[in-house]
Amino acid sequence: MSIHEVNAEELAKLFHIYRQALAHGLGDPATNDQAKSWDQVPQCERKLMVAAARLALIDLADAGGEEPPARSYFAKPGEANWGC
């Protein structure tokens, strides 16, 4: 799966789930009250997390972590036909 195929909302949801699990395992007092499922997170906070995930995906894609798609209209090195 490429960066371009990742859904920002799904990524934000996974981050939320993993954060809850890790914080709970570390005995974080903030999670001892009541762990919120993704559906219980206020809409404004969910939108903020999705926007942050979207920006992270853009940064990762721009960082060159992936090869650009092959362009079939360019000849491979040494295969170009030169002439007029």
For residue range 8-19, list pLDDT tens digits in order: 999 999 999 888
- Angle (nearest 5°) at CA 73 between 81 and 62: 130
Q: Domain limits of the chain?
A: 3-62
For residue range 22-76, list pLDDT tens digits in order: 887 766 566 555 568 888 989 999 999 999 999 988 888 887 655 555 556 666 6
Which pLDDT value is given to residue 48?
92
- pTM comes to 0.60
Q: Is 73 exposed, middle or buried (0-12, 13-18, 19+ CB in 10 A)?
A: exposed
Contacts of 35 (CB under 8 A, 6+ apart): 20, 24
